Amino acid sequence: MERRACLEAIHADLADVAVVTIMGAVAAELQAIGHRPNFFYLQHAMGLASSLGLGIALAQPTRPVVVFDGDGSLLMNLGGLTTLARYRPRNLVHVVFDNESLLSVGGFPTATSTGSDLAAIAAAAGVPRAVTVRSIAEFVDAFRAARASGDLTTIVAKVEAVGPKAFVTDLALLENRYQFARYLQGRAPL
């Protein structure tokens, strides 16, 4: 399956959810599908999208939070999973798009291409709900089940290593930051 199709399938579900993505292909795709002021595309800082999501989820426990991570990013900071599990934010869904590569910087293969299982690692870290999905229907079901479960979930979505031509968003980081901060503060979009 393609990551873009996964994002399209749940885009309507992200209307009033704090969304944090990694940089690169996933950010460019989500913005192209339809940017919202509640979407924040974290630049650089590989492996820290779930940490940013964790901070928001703990600070605002009634707000749903969704993180879109990548296999390469998560592998750079596996301790992020143990910290997520330790604090167990019930309002956070952690999606890892596992394309077995560092697509946004040239497609170098990651450890998942030789068998490392990120859902098993998440479960071993103590994440209470951790699943792997391989079709759009499975992905949508897992995403909605995670939202409904009221517990921390990591969904590893196995996707093809394909993406947009340009891996950049058409939105300055600073502008995105202020938009997102206003959203979190409940202030009207500018």
- Select 72 or 80, whichever has its Cβ closest to ligand TPP: 72
Nearer to ligand TPP, 69 or 183 (CB): 69
Site string for ligand TPP, 76-115 (x = CB under 6 A): -----------------------x-xxxxx----------
Query: Whose Cβ is closer to ligand TPP: residue 106's or residue 189's?
Result: 106
Of all residues in this chain, which one has the CB nearest to ligand TPP in the complex? 70
End-to-end CA distance of the chain: 36
Q: Cα(161)–Cα(184) distance, rounded to whole angstroms? A: 32
- Give the shortest CB-80-to-ligand TPP separation in angstroms: 12
- Residue 179 backbone phi and psi in degrees, to 5: -55, -50
Give bridge partners of residue 129 from the DSSP assignment: 153
Q: Which of residues 3-22 bind ligand TPP (CB under 6 A)?
A: 22
The residue type found at 33 is I
| Helix pair angle (25-34, 3-10), 10° resolution | 40
What does the alpha-carbon distance between residue 183 and residue 23 come to, in Å, rounded to a whole number? 20
State the residues that interact with ligand TPP by CB under 6 A. Answer: 22-26, 44, 46, 70-73, 99, 101-105
